[in-house]
Amino acid sequence: MSHSPLPPRRPSAPFPPPPGPGGFILLDWLLAAILLALLTIGVLRITARELEREEVNTVALRLSAWLQLSQTAATQLPMAGSANSAGCQVTLTAAPKGAAPGDGIASVQPMQAPQRAALCNPEPQFLLPASRHAAPGTTEQPQVSITLLGNANGTLTFTFTPRGTVTTTQTVDIVIRHLGQSQAARCVRINAITGRIELGSDNSGTAVGCGEESFTDLI
């Protein structure tokens, strides 16, 4: 018995070659580049906001330390007559439209000997510290605004007395707000009741000042 010949075998389809270095298509590269760009922008924004908060932190901490030094010096001055006739007189100057590093926003002098300002502070004038943008020999642009909450006059004068109190009858809030994208604020408070210097904060950039819950005594 004869057998019919088997049909010829069809060659199997070749396996697809494994993807090489050029396996990604152009769309994949574009999507990856866009994603990387978005992540980079997000990181830069977060970093800029954090740096701005550090800048207002620096101003607030230095100003509070300067005030504390003046208050301590006042308690070491001789008291003649009444508590209001001696001590260290502080003058605060607002800069609601912006103050640049190197600008003076506060000064101090003894009540009885104003020509000897160093009795109250070795640095009688408080100057805003340099920012991260500082470059030698250049003039910096305004970095922060300074407002005296509840005071529309632009300047405020009060006295730290030898008894450790303060002559102002109203608590003073010095609001230091960054002019950058964060609009973060730090507040230095001189408490009229206790005479203490306190720090507050606002990171929202929308509040007029700092929330009451954010204030803490420095001592």
**75-121 confidence digits (pLDDT tens):** 988 665 544 568 999 999 999 999 999 999 999 999 888 888 899 99
pTM, 2 dp: 0.74
How distant, in Å, are the alpha carbons of 21, 71, 85, 111 from that of 161? 77, 8, 8, 9
In a domain, 18, yes or no: no
Instruction: Tally the domains of the chain.
Output: 1
In a domain, 69, yes or no: yes
Q: Provide the domain limits for residue 53.
A: 26-78+85-130+141-217
Query: Rounded CA gap, 149 and 168, in Å?
Result: 14
**167-215 confidence digits (pLDDT tens):** 988 899 999 999 998 899 999 999 998 899 999 999 988 889 999 999 9
In a domain, 156, yes or no: yes
In a domain, 8, yes or no: no
Report the pLDDT value the prediction gives residue 86, as an integer from 0 to 100: 84
Structure tokens at 49: 């906001």
First to last CA, the chain: 114
**H or E element at residue 88:** strand 88-93
Q: Mean pLDDT over residues 71-77, rounded?
A: 91
Q: Mean pLDDT over residues 36-46, rounded?
A: 60
Residue pointed to by tokens 């340099």: 130
Report the pLDDT value the prediction gives residue 83, as an integer from 0 to 100: 47
Report the pLDDT value the prediction gives residue 214, as an integer from 0 to 100: 92
In a domain, 157, yes or no: yes
CATH code, domain carrying 112: 3.55.40.10
Report the pLDDT value the prediction gives residue 134, as an integer from 0 to 100: 53
In a domain, 135, yes or no: no
Residue 217 has pLDDT above 90, yes or no: no
Q: Do β-strands 172-178 and 95-99 pair in parallel, antiparallel, or remain unpaired?
A: unpaired
Q: Is the dihedral of CA 100, 185, 56, 176 positive or negative?
A: positive
Residue 219 has pLDDT above 50, yes or no: no
In a domain, 4, yes or no: no
In a domain, 178, yes or no: yes
Band (45; pLDDT cuts 50, 70, 90): low
CA-closest candidate to residue 67, choices 99, 92, 104, 93: 92
